[in-house]
């Protein structure tokens, strides 16, 4: 299967603010392929976001959807709420309602099908065969984000067209949906494991910030590279000023895998909240809703100690500037590293 963009450079979906129609359109216009982040949007907001993107570019783009987790027990969430309550008091806000919801994924599925979005990707789970068939009938190709050979087999079994292979180096939430604990497989290891076990095309994701690194993973069998962190400080990204400064100023020394913010493992800058509360219960999206007011208040106050500052392991290479320039740099480096045979 050929990728929809002219270049094997894919802009990852980054829910919660960084992904914008302007960013996706700019990447698409530059020859790459961009994903809108459908997570946390209402169905009506998703319709409007697709329309805004199409008004800015006539190139193809994709939409990413979250699949729901099972509801979690209330007692661990209540205990965690009491533990972080002093943080809410410090910021002068109330904790959020730790409710469970399915992110309206059924309605959003109908949106992307009716809008005939060229590619729909899924995170946090594997769609059922009926959903895949619904999308195929609407001429939408289906990608599933996987972090293990077992997840890859599950995606292949339901009729997925493409696998987004997410290594442990990736910033943001881990997409894992089978097996306990965080994903600790490096991207290169995971690609080598999958190369011999599936016929589906593989897109590599996780810590890729340069075309040279992109060439390394393409030599391992990937047909394209998906990058998120590299676009966080692009002019068109919706990344907050607090988040941008933490990245560009090197406020924190490293990244860490943590459940502190949402109840799902994710990789971000090792700020105080991420490190102190990394033992949060496995309760997504309940913890996400619980901590959201804290994260928003800290961001407004310019306080980087409390928001989720998602970032991959290559975050030190983040640069500001137009997305088109970032795409051109990655593509040039990729072509140079792969050579004429690439």
pLDDT in tens, 30-89: 999 999 999 999 999 999 999 999 999 999 999 999 999 999 999 999 999 999 999 999
Taking only the tens place, the pLDDT of each residue in 83-134 is 999 999 999 999 999 999 999 999 999 999 999 999 999 999 999 999 999 9
Q: Which stretches within the chain are classed as H helix?
A: 21-29, 43-56, 74-91, 105-114, 129-137, 149-157, 187-195, 211-219, 241-248, 272-276, 286-300, 323-338
CATH number for 9-68+103-237+318-338 (one of 1.10.3720.10, 3.90.1300.10, 3.30.70.330, 3.20.20.70): it is 3.20.20.70
Q: Residue 169 pLDDT > 70, yes or no?
A: yes
4 pLDDT tier (thresholds 50, 70, 90): confident
295 in Cβ contact with 208 (< 8 Å): no
Taking only the tens place, the pLDDT of each residue in 221-258 is 999 999 999 999 999 999 999 999 999 999 999 999 99
Q: What is the pTM of this model?
A: 0.96
Q: Residue 342 pLDDT > 60, yes or no?
A: no
Spatial separation of the C-alpha atoms in residues 200 and 45, rounded to whole Å = 32
| Domain boundaries along the sequence of the chain | 9-68+103-237+318-338, 72-101+253-308
């Amino acid at each position: 299967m050929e990728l929809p963009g002219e270049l094997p450079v894919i802009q990852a979906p980054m829910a919660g603010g960084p992904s914008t129609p302007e960013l996706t359109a700019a990447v698409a216009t530059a020859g790459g392929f961009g994903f809108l982040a459908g997570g946390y949007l209402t169905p009506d907001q998703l319709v409007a976001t697709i329309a805004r993107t199409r008004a800015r570019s006539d190139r193809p783009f994709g939409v990413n959807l979250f699949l729901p987790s099972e509801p979690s027990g209330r007692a661990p969430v209540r205990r965690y709420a009491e533990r972080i309550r002093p943080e809410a008091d410090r910021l002068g806000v109330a904790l959020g309602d730790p409710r469970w919801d399915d992110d309206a994924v059924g309605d959003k599925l109908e949106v992307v099908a009716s809008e005939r979005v060229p590619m729909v990707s899924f995170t946090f789970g594997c769609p059922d065969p009926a959903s895949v068939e619904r999308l195929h009938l609407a001429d939408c190709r289906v990608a599933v984000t996987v972090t293990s050979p077992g997840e890859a087999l599950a995606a292949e079994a339901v009729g997925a067209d493409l696998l987004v292979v997410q290594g442990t180096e990736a910033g943001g939430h881990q997409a894992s949906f089978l097996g306990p604990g965080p994903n600790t497989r490096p991207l290169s290891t995971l690609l080598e494991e999958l190369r011999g076990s599936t016929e589906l095309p593989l897109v590599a994701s996780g810590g890729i910030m340069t075309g040279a690194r992109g060439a390394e993973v393409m030599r391992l069998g990937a047909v394209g590279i998906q990058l998120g962190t590299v676009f966080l400080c692009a002019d068109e990204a919706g990344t907050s000023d607090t988040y941008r400064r933490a990245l560009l100023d090197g406020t924190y020394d490293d990244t860490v895998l943590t459940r502190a913010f949402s109840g799902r493992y994710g990789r971000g800058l090792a700020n105080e909240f991420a490190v102190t509360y990394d033992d949060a219960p496995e309760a997504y999206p309940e913890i996400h809703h619980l901590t959201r007011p804290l994260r928003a208040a800290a961001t407004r106050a310019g306080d980087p100690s409390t928001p989720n500052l998602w970032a991959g392991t290559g975050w030190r290479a983040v640069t500001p500037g137009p997305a088109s320039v970032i795409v051109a740099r990655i593509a040039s480096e990729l072509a140079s590293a792969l050579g004429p045979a690439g």
